[in-house]
């Protein structure tokens, strides 16, 4: 049974293995991208719409995060159902004379469809986030086949978790971050620009010292003209934000915003109607621990990217619901993918016109 064929039922909250929840007028459909796969765990999904209009999703899957067998898997939405996942990249470095393989885990795929170019798939390879490097492969047929992956230049990672933006002049600006090996690790945000679809690069930043505010994994909001706002994950219990007024060439000071963050990945975008939307866990971290709970998983909207309103609860039961990715398709619908208990990738479709924003109550999600 393919869950994506049960979308009208799933919209009623009747997802197998999950309790029923109240029907939301904004949720068009929801379901898993796959039911079974040759890997037990998955994480860090990404989704994109191709030039031809197809939806393509990717994630990393393997024994567990950091295991050398973790590869990058891709599925496409065809005829209302997702195709069987296919591994399109892995961290194999070379084969030894005895037949054994030198292999590293792969991480955090990011799909991006530029104007007038092939579908790009960025990802990381390497033992840890402190030592990984950037990789890039591309597809000219909507994600069906992929070129041999190539390593990005030394010191260039490509987008670390969330999608780039293509500026009016065609430049692709990538949201990037670093994690250093010392303890405590310095988490700093920087940006990378390519004018030729990933052949040559310019690095911008870092824009923070990685100590006062430990910040990684930004997403871009478009504020009009050349004004950009990057927001994302921090270890200070809040979403961070940092602004540029010149198309990302220079950036102001990085600060903490108003939304909570339990040291967990977020994603955000600017809608076609000018509003901004973020998908995140509306819960702070736990002092003295690595992070907080990764439930609930929430959607908030904003007119300016700084003052937010509660809009939707995607998950609120025990478990991990994390690392969302979000796009707005050309028909106006919003597509969200995220990690569902590390076991599957879930896909939710929202109609943003039907969201019913409400004010937070002293920072708490409204009842």
Tell me what pLDDT residue 21 has.
53
Please give the tally of structural domains in the chain. 1
Phi, psi of 114 (to 5 degrees): -75, 165
**Is residue 279 within 8 Å of 294, Cβ to Cβ?**
no
**The predicted structure's pLDDT at residue 22:** 60
Segment holding 7, helix H or strand E: helix 7-10
For the chain, the residue count is 367
Q: What's the whole-number average pLDDT of the chain?
A: 93
Instruction: Look at residues 198, 173, 185 and name the one whose alpha carbon lies nearest to residue 119.
Output: 198
Q: Stretch 268-282: mean pLDDT, rounded?
A: 98
Q: Which domain holds residue 53?
A: 33-151
Q: Is residue 146 part of a domain?
A: yes
Higher pLDDT, 63 or 20: 63
Q: For residues 14 and 20, is the Cβ–Cβ distance under 8 A?
A: yes
Give the per-residue pLDDT at 8.
34
The number of CA neighbours under 13 Å toward the Cβ of 195 is 3
**The pair of three-digit structure tokens given for residue 330, joined into one six-digit string:** 């050309």
- Model pLDDT, residue 98: 87
Quote the pTM value: 0.93
pLDDT above 50: residue 188: yes
**pLDDT tens digits along 69-106:** 999 999 999 999 999 999 999 999 988 888 888 999 99
Rg (CA), the chain: 19
For residues 161 and 338, give the distance between their C-alpha atoms in angstroms, rounded to a whole number.
Answer: 12
Residue 25 has pLDDT above 60, yes or no: yes
Per-residue pLDDT tens for 54-71? 999 999 999 999 999 999
Q: Which residue has the tokens 């300016």?
A: 304
pLDDT in tens, 123-153: 999 999 999 999 999 999 999 999 999 999 9
Q: Would you say residue 47 lies in a domain?
A: yes
Q: What is the mean pLDDT of residues 215-244?
A: 97
- pLDDT over 90, % of the chain: 88
- Structural domain includes residue 157: no
Residues 41, 163: Cα–Cα separation, whole Å: 23
Residue at 60 is within a domain: yes
């Amino acid at each position: 049974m393919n869950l994506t064929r049960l979308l009208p039922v799933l919209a009623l909250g009747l997802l197998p293995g999950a309790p029923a929840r109240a029907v939301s007028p904004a949720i068009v459909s929801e379901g898993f991208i796959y039911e079974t796969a040759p890997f037990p765990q998955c994480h860090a999904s990404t989704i994109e719409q191709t030039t031809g209009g197809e939806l393509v999703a990717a994630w990393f899957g393997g024994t567990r995060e950091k295991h050398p067998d973790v590869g990058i898997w891709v599925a496409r939405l065809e005829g209302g159902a997702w195709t069987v996942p296919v591994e399109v990249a892995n961290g194999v470095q070379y084969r030894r004379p005895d037949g054994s393989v030198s292999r590293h885990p792969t991480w955090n795929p990011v799909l991006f469809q530029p104007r007038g170019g092939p579908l790009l798939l960025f990802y990381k390879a390497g033992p840890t986030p402190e030592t990984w490097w950037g990789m890039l492969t591309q597809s000219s047929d909507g994600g069906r086949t992929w070129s041999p992956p190539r390593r990005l230049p030394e010191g260039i990672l490509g987008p670390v978790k969330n999608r780039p933006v293509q500026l009016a002049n065609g430049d692709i600006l990538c949201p990037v971050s670093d994690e250093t090996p010392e303890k405590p690790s310095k988490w700093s945000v920087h940006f990378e620009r390519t004018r030729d679809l990933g052949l040559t690069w310019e690095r911008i930043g870092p824009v923070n010292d990685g100590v006062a505010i430990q910040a990684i994994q930004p997403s871009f909001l478009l504020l009009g003209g050349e004004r950009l706002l990057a927001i994302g994950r921090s270890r200070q219990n809040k979403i961070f934000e940092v602004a540029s007024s010149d198309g990302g060439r220079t950036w102001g000071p990085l600060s903490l915003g108003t939304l909570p963050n339990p040291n967990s990945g977020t994603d955000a975008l600017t809608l076609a109607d000018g509003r901004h939307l973020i998908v995140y866990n509306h819960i702070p971290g736990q002092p003295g621990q690595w992070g907080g709970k990764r439930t609930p998983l929430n959607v908030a909207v904003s007119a300016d990217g700084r003052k937010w309103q509660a809009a939707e609860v995607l998950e609120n039961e025990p478990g991990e619901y994390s690392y969302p990715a979000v796009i707005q398709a050309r028909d106006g619908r919003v597509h969200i993918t995220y990690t569902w208990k590390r076991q599957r990738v879930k896909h939710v479709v929202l109609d943003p016109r039907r969201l019913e924003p409400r004010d937070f109550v002293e920072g708490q999600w409204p009842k």
